[in-house]
Amino acid sequence: MKQPMKGMELSERFFKEIAMPLLRQAFPQLSYSAGLLGFGSDVLGYDDAVSTDHMWGPRFYLFLRPEDIDQKEAIMDMFAAQLPQEFLGYTVNFSDPDPEDGGVRCAQKQEEKARVNPLIFIHTEAEYLKAYLGCETVSQLSVWDWLSLSEHKLLSLTCGRWFKDDLGIERRWGPLSYYPETVWLYRIASDWSLIAEEQAFVRRCADVGDDLGSRLVCSRIAERLMHLAFLYCRRYAPYSKWLGTAFAALPIDPQIKTAIEAAATAETVEERERQIVRTQQRMAMLHNARHITEPVSTKVETYFTRAIQVIWADRVAEAVKKRLAGTVLEPLAPIGGFSELANFAALTEHPRYRRSIAAFYQTQGEIPMETIQIKYFDTEIDKIAPREGGDWIDLRAAETVRLEAGEFRLIRLGVGMILPPGYEAHVIPRSSTFIQYGIIQTNHMGLIDESYCGDEDEWKLPVYALRDTVIQKNDRICQFRIAKKQPRICFEEVGKLREKSRGGFGSTGAQ
């Protein structure tokens, strides 16, 4: 097959030479950002002739401000009418999304005068992030959020290219450039710990006649070592299709690459063990060179009294775990990220499961509740004190309010919060609220969902006054607590309920 132009170069030229002039002419006042990022081998620079069979060609993403998104249809209509059928010999028109193949679209030649159906996607920034990552902002990600994000998707966002960025999205996405320190350390400790669990099995499996098992163990250790190489280089690793390609390009000791390939292809257990241990030794040397912990021993030793060679990978794991002491990640089982499991794409790549993954990490064992991020919209109200658990937490009026009998008001509470994944807040009046102020909460109990966490999402209390009253700023008027959200429920229809009937509504009487 003919080697095509690289998709990134093709798409950038298509945007700058064709699409951008059309936008400037038809929508001269429009501010937008455009680029190629997200899915696709062309984003990573790995595209070849085979890649051109679907979702490849002149394409880009166009990001609009929320107040301009209503122009999406008009913009796409303009593109359909004015884009050429081909650009630099590549088809600009694409088929409709195939519902039987995950919405895949393929280049589709058509008559010269026909309207073009281009591979252009228009979103707001929040729409795109929610659809691609499962979150609407990246400015305040918790460690649990970081552990729930697909590593391949993080790579595809950070190695994409912006062709024009009026909206400053590239700057706002700066925090995605790499893992925060604690998450990075947790993943390093996890990979070494997982290697340590099987470090003696390459030889042990072969000793009992299980050469296949020995090869499988060696392959798992090799893959963990490859992921460690990415971590030490502070680079995101791609998913399995491109893992070896990206690993070969890492700026690491060439002996690591040579040894890991030799281990994976070794025909004898002696050579397999020698090379996989050599790889671990070299990786431990790389660890020491990064000065992440106190230097760890890289000496090859005998595994207790057995004729098995190891470097005691658990020593490296324990050294890194010490760096996690006192952090919320300290109690977690050292399992690393789900993205490192090659066949878990159905879970890790689907944004609908991101919050469940975050909750999985957060609720492991007896892990204490993570600190809730809180913003105070008013500096004059008393701040909420830390709680050990159990008690309802008081909230205060962030303004002085005068109400006449029969008047309704939303009273500002002066706070906004990012609740832990899978939790919601319940807000109710304090027991003394009606006695002191003569007000009732109109919805009886307020429910604040975890998604209500934007920078301007201030909590408020809806009240109705039964008498004339004055509420002073900083008065305690309500209280809240957080609770786990209701699990998914499946209703099963039956013809008869098996339990004994109680006798109807109110049947327990007054006694």
What are the catalytic residues?
449
492: which DSSP letter? -
- Kindly state the helix (H) or strand (E) to which residue 393 belongs, with its residue range: strand 393-396
- Cα distance between residue 382 and residue 138, in whole Å: 29
* Helix ranges (DSSP H) in 240-353: 240-248, 254-265, 269-289, 313-323, 345-348
- One-letter amino acid at 437 equals Y
Distances (CA, A) of 130 to 124, 137, 149: 10, 8, 12
What residues have CB less than 8 Å from 122, skipping those under 6 apart? Answer: 61, 62, 63, 64, 69, 72, 75, 76
Rounded CA-CA distance 82/59 in Å is: 15
Do 296 and 315 contact (CB within 8 A), yes or no?
yes
Contact 53, 106 (CB under 8 A): yes
Separation in Å, CA 447 to CA 314, 391, 416, 425, 482: 46, 18, 14, 6, 10
**Sequence letter at residue 250:** L
Cα 489–494–496 angle (5° rounding)? Answer: 130
Of the candidates 334, 309, 314, 337, the one whose C-alpha atom is nearest the C-alpha of residue 324 is 334
Read off the tokens for 431: 């027991």
